[in-house]
Amino acid sequence: MTLALENISIDFGGIKALSHVSFQIPDGRITGLIGPNGAGKTTLFNIITRFYQQNQGSIRFYEKNINSLKTHQLTSIGICRTFQNVQLFNSLSVYDNIRICCPTNRRTYFNEIFSIRSFTPPQKQLIEDAIDFLDLGKYKYEIAGELPLGIQKRVEIARSLVLKPKLLLLDEPAAGLNSKETQELTHKITEINQRFRTAILLVEHDMKMVMGVCEKIVVLNFGQVIAEGTSEEIRNDDRVIKAYLGSDDHA
């Protein structure tokens, strides 16, 4: 099991945001996390990535408790995330945005003094591979902040890939994209999972994407898990239909 959440609870000023949330993310699978706005999905992402500290419960990553880890320590064990609102260095090129996230162990006193990051040939190849994989070659030297949202979202995913994640958390990657961009992104998410065997936790409101790529879906409502299962099971769950999907036809 890649990640196991056990009885995760958190409140903000007496308001219960999450209450006893428990579920597991299987190795090498895509798991969807859905629910209406305010259900607690992004809050749960922020707990997993240690932006928030839960009031109760534990998180285990490959059976190791990671409650005490800091946010910046997660990439070194293989946990990466993207954000609902793209978090790029807008004044830098696509290449530099990706390069700056690539870890390097070639550290010298001279490099540290002058803030120079030196990359080995394999690390340079890793950057190029991420660019090629996300079809970013023609945007390589474009300023990231001047590119369309769909391209920016691919840059953010490419930055995660150079870290060789074992678990990739995608927070509404299709938000703001048109149908063609969403379809292309859906294909890339599936390809990431299949090629790299990366476990993925996907938060998304586009039900066509979720139902199409996720082997397991967890549904949150008012901070609690109300259903968990395959897309077919979720599609026909009365609690989910009532809380989120609206009707069988909509689902």
Q: Is residue 22 within a helix (H) or strand (E), and if so which, with residue range? A: strand 15-25
Q: How confident is the model at residue 242 (pLDDT cuts 50, 70, 90)?
A: confident
User: Residue 107 CB: number of other CB atoms within 10 A?
Assistant: 11
Measured in whole angstroms, the distance separating CA 232 from the mean position of its chain's CA atoms is 23
The DSSP secondary structure of 53-117, one letter per residue, reads: --SEEEEEETTEE-TT--GGGHHHHTEEE--SS----TTSBHHHHHHTTS---B--HHHHHTT--
Q: How far apart are the two ends of the chain, measured CA to CA in Å? A: 29
Q: How confident is the model at residue 118 (pLDDT cuts 50, 70, 90)?
A: low
pLDDT of 223 higher than 80? yes
Structurally, at CATH architecture level, domain 1-78+166-251 sits in 3-Layer(aba) Sandwich (3.40)
156-215: pLDDT as tens digits:
999 999 999 999 999 999 999 999 999 999 999 999 999 999 999 999 999 999 999 999
Residue 103: closest CA among 135, 126, 131:
126
68-95: pLDDT as tens digits:
999 989 999 999 999 888 889 999 999 9
Residue 212: closest CA among 186, 234, 244:
186
Domain boundaries, the chain: 1-78+166-251, 90-164
Q: How many helices (H) and strands (E) in the chain?
A: 10, 10
